[in-house]
Chain A
C-alpha cells in the first residue's frame, strides 16, 4: 500500500510517501504527479515513512526527475538507510539529489 500526501506552497510541492513503492503502487504515484508538476519549480520527495522501493518506483522517480530537470529542481529527503542502499547500488544516487 502506498499513501501519497501532497503539500503545495506557491511553486514548491512537497510529496510525502509512506508505505511501499512497488510495481502495484508506482502507477498510482505516476498518475498523482502527472498533472501536478505543471507549475512546480521545486519538488521535494519526503521519504521518511517509505518502507520499500523497487525498480518500478525508481523508474517513476526517474521520469519525474527528467521533467523537473526542465522545469526546476527535485530533491529527495529523509530516505531510510534501506532505501538509500537501493539508490546507491542502482546508481540513482548519482541521478537524484538526495539530502
Chain B
C-alpha cells in the first residue's frame, strides 16, 4: 500500500477522537472545579464526602454505559454495512432504555439513599460527619440523573451522525454552566453542598438540551423509530453492553475496595483528600484514553461489521499510535507540574506532599492506562468478549485492589497511591506474556495483537484494497476489478457490472467530490468476494453526497445527463449509502 493510504482513516478518526476527548475532559474539568470549590470553600470534610460518592456516580454511569456502548457497537455494525433502518431502531431503543433506567435511579436515590451509601462503603456509625454531607449532595445531584444518563447514551450517536460540533458545544455548555453555578452557589446563594449537587444537575440538563437540538432538527441520520427493531437487536445490545457493565462494575468494586483499604490504612482525612485529588486528575487524564478508546470502539465495530480486515488494521494502528504519542507527552507535563496542580486544591502542606506523590504516580501510569483502555475498547468493538472480560477484571479489579492492599500494607498511603502505576505496568506485562503464549513466540506483526480469527474478512486473495486519488486510478481499478472477478469465476456480465460500478461511482467522487479544507479527494476502495457475492465499498472524506437521493431527484431529467449514476442505480440491486464520521460510505453487493 502507498503511504497516502492512511489519510482516510486519520481523517475519520482524529476529529472524532478529539471531540470525544474534549467532551470527556470538559465534564471532568467541571468535576474537578466542583472538587476545588468544595474543598476550598466548603471544607475538607465536604470534599471527602463528595469523593466517597464516586462509586455511586459510577453505578449510574455503569448503566448509562451499558446502554450506550451496547447500542453503539450494534449500531456501528449496521452502519458498517449501510443498514439504515436497523441502525435507527437500535438508536431509538437505546434512548428509550436510558429513560427507563433514569427513572429507576431517581426513585432509588429519593427513597433509599442509605442503600447507595452502603455500596460506597460508608456507614452512618463509622463516619457520621461525612454521611450528612453525602446526603445533602445527593439531594442536589438526583435532579440531574436523567440528563447524565441520556447524555451518555446519545453523545456517541451524535459523533457517528456528523454532529461533532454540537457535541463540543454541549460539552462546553456543561463545563461553563457548572463552573458558574458552583461560584454562584458559594458566593451568592450559600447553598452549601446541596447547592454544589444542584449546580451540577442544572449544567447536565443544559448539556442535554443542546444535544437534543441535533435530533430534533432536519437532516440527521438518527430518528426515533422502533420500526425495524427485533429481538436479536435487543439481545445484541445486552450482550455487547454487558461488557461495559462488567468493566464499570469492576471499576466500582475497585473504588469500593480501595476506599475501604484507604480508610483502613489512612490515619488522616489528608490522605483521603490526597487520594481524591489523584482520582480527580486521573479522571481528567483518563479522558484521553476514553476519547481514543471510544472512537476506536465505534470504528472497529464498523469495520468489523463490514468484515474489512485492512480497515480494522489501519484503524487499530492509528489509535495505538495516537495513544502513545499523546499520553507520553501529557504524562511528562503532569509529572513536572504536579506541585502546581496540588496547590490549586489546597495549601495544607501535609496534603500537598501526599498529593504531589500521588499525581506523579498517576502520570507514570498514563501511557500504560491509555494502551490498556484502547485495547479493551478495540476488543469490545470486535466482540471478543472473553478477552475483554479477562482484561477488564484484571485491570480494573484484581490487580489494582491486590496491589493497593499489598503496597498499602507495606508503605501505607503512599503504597496505595503508587499501586496505580505499578498495577498498570504489571497488567501490560501480563498482556504481553499472554500474547506471546497465544502466538507461540514474540508477536511481530500487527495482526498478532489483534485477536482476529484466521478466516476473518476472507482469504487474502478474496480481498482487494486500494486508494483512488484521480481518474487514472479510477480506470486502472475498474479494470483490475474485472480481472479480480474473472479470477473468482464470476461470469462476464457480473464482472462487467463490478467494473462499471467502480468506474462510475469512484469516478464521480474524484470528479465532483468536494474535499475538506486542506485535503485532497481520496477514496478508500475495497473489493471483497465470498461464495455468495462480490462486495464493493467506497469511502471518501468529501462533503456529504447521497447518490441514492441524487438519483431519485434526477432520474426523470434529460436522459443525456447523469448517465453513470443512472446505469449504476438501475443495475445494482443492493446499494446502500451512509454518511458517518463525516465520510461518505457506499456499499454495493452483487449477488452471484
Contacts and interface: CB of A to CB of B under 8 A. Distances in A.
B560 A62 contact: yes
Nearest to B564: A55
Interface string A19-43: 0101110000000000000000000
A8 B482 CA distance: 33
Interface residues of A, number: 21
B500 interface: yes
Contacts of B492: 51, 82
A17 B114 CA distance: 86
B471 A85 contact: no
Contacts of A59: 563
Nearest to A62: B560
A52 B500 contact: yes
A62 B560 CA distance: 8
Contacts of A52: 482, 496, 499-500
Nearest to B559: A91
Contact of B478 (A22, A85, A94): A22
A23 B507 contact: yes
A59 B566 CA distance: 13
Interface in A45-99: 51-52, 54-55, 58-59, 62, 81-82, 85-86, 89-92, 94-95
Mostly, the A contact residues are: helix
A24 B471 CA distance: 8
Contact of B493 (A23, A82, A90): A82
A90 B496 contact: no
B567 interface: yes
| Chain B interface category by residue count | 20 to 34
Contacts of A55: 504, 563-564, 567
B479 interface: yes
Mostly, the B contact residues are: helix
A4 B482 CA distance: 21
A54 B566 contact: no
Contacts of A23: 471, 474-475, 478, 503, 507
A22 B563 contact: no
Interface string B480-499: 00100000000011001001
A23 B470 CA distance: 12
Contacts of B567: 54-55, 86, 89-90
Contacts of B125: none
A90 B499 contact: no
Contacts of B564: 54-55
Contacts of B570: 89-90
A24 B475 contact: yes
Given A54-B564, A82-B496, A89-B570, A22 B559 contact: no
Given A23-B471, A52-B496, A91-B559, A85 B503 contact: no
Q: Which 3 A-B pairs have the closest CB atoms?
A: A55-B564, A89-B570, A91-B559
Given A22-B475, A24-B472, A90-B567, 17 more contacts: A22-B503, A23-B503, A24-B471, A52-B482, A52-B499, A54-B503, A54-B567, A55-B564, A81-B493, A82-B492, A82-B496, A86-B500, A86-B567, A90-B566, A90-B570, A91-B566, A92-B559
Interface of B: 471-472, 474-475, 478-479, 482, 492-493, 496, 499-500, 503-504, 507, 559-560, 563-564, 566-567, 570-571
